[in-house]
Amino acid sequence: MTRSKAPNRSAARLAAVQALYQLEMEKPQLHLLLDEFHMHRLGAEIEDDQYLEADVAFFDDVVRGVAARRDEIDGVLSARLADGWSIARLDRTMLQILRAGAYELMARADISVGTVIGEYLDVAHAFFDARETKFVNGLLDAVAKDVRKG
């Protein structure tokens, strides 16, 4: 990945987590949700905040990939949760961060484990404090060991 793509992919990851959250909470049709983000969120100015241009194809891949493989992803995440914890107990935003990160680890071998984990730690920092970001780090690292060889 070239340096110029990095901010666009970072913006795409943050937007993907937001879209996945909306998908979870409101259950819109996927194509309508993607259209809304394409037309009104990615690179848009909303309430005087300028959103970064996002890699739209990458955003679509993450959102569509998580939606298509959600049960598989949740199984991989559940296998690494501590005893007594379940997907249902996780904060809804945290769950979307973990799903998106797990999807990339499972489906995007072209992106290094360190890049995936680092990027989703940055996303987690936007929503949570250090304790929760350590949880994201530990869980995605464990998932990476399960789904990536070598």
In a domain, 150, yes or no: no
Separation between Cα atoms, residue 149 and residue 98, nearest integer Å: 20
Domain count across the chain: 1
> Residue 112: CB partners within 8 Å, gap ≥ 6?
none
Q: How far is CA 26 from CA 18, 19, 112, in A?
A: 12, 10, 32
Q: Residue 46 has what pLDDT?
A: 52
SS3 call for 145: helix
Contact 143, 76 (CB under 8 A): yes
How many degrees, rounded to 5, is the angle at CA 149 between CA 144 and CA 150?
Answer: 105
Query: What residue numbers bound the domain in which 48 lies?
Result: 5-143
Would you say residue 130 lies in a domain? Answer: yes
CA atoms within 13 A on the CB side of 79: 15
Closest listed residue to residue 95, CA positions, set 116, 73, 112? 73
In order along its 150 residues, the chain shows pLDDT tens digits of: 444 466 689 989 999 999 999 999 999 999 999 999 988 778 665 555 555 678 999 999 999 999 999 999 999 999 999 988 999 999 999 999 999 999 999 999 999 999 999 999 999 999 999 999 999 999 999 999 999 975
Residue 148 lies in a domain: no
pLDDT of residue 68: 98
Q: What is the pTM of this model?
A: 0.90
Residue 15 lies in a domain: yes
pLDDT at 42: 80
Q: Say what the pLDDT of residue 26 is.
A: 95
Residue 27: DSSP 8-state: -
Q: Which residues pair with 34 in a beta bridge?
A: none
Is 63 inside any structural domain? yes
Domain holding 73: CATH number? 1.10.940.10
Q: Is 149 part of a structural domain of the chain?
A: no
- Residue 48: the pLDDT is 58
Residue 29 lies in a domain: yes
Coil, strand, or helix at residue 7?
helix
